[in-house]
Amino acid sequence: MVLGITGGVGAGKSRILDILREVYGARIIQADQVAAELEQPGQPGYEALVETFGAGILNREGQLDRAAFAQLIFQDSQALSQVNGILHPLTWRRIRQMTEEQPEQLTAVESALFDRQSRDYCGKLVFVDTDEANRISRLMENRGYSREKCLDIMKNQPDRETFLSLADYVIDNNGSLEQVRAQVDRVMEELTNEVR
């Protein structure tokens, strides 16, 4: 089974992934990490990004200058759309390849960006729902972001209604670890019953 896990930045998706890994033995694939591998020299994502944006996005060693590149795309919605248009299909093609070559009983694929196509690839999609204030405080505490940076990143992500329209399940991640764990257990119980 391939289970999609989604939610905005700071929603606490890693908390859900930890439970799925530790309690249910899930293999975890994070779309961001797959995309980062595709952005390495010689990989198709790297080639396409350099072709689209030019060598100015590279550092002196010929690697993608991540900080400068992130600043460029988060300030320019058209550039962000171009990057998503390049990396999104490549990332999902690689994820599909990974799950087909090494099938597991349960694979959880975490991504902040799902569309209809990637959504349909996952058997079910779980939306990790957390209110904005909690998300901002987590990002400021865990990643050292300013409030402005948090809001800037959030405005470039899908809104709550978009996540809800794609999701099969919603986990409220505003409460304690025990409350979240109980919700994950309920989702897994339903999924197990469905598979039987």
Which pairs count as long-range contacts for 84-89, CB under 8 Å and 24+ apart, including other chains? 84/113, 86/45, 86/48, 86/49, 86/52, 87/35, 87/38, 87/39, 87/45, 87/49, 88/113, 88/115, 88/118
- Rounded to two decimals, what is the model's pTM? 0.87
**Residues ≥6 apart with Cβ < 8 Å to 57:** 49, 50, 64, 65, 68, 69, 72
Residues comprising the chain, all counted: 196
Question: Per-residue pLDDT averaged across 158-186, rounded?
Answer: 93
Instruction: Quote the pLDDT of residue 89.
Output: 92
33-88 pLDDT, tens digit each:
999 999 999 999 999 999 999 888 999 999 999 888 888 887 788 888 899 899 99
Instruction: Quote the pLDDT of residue 38.
Output: 96
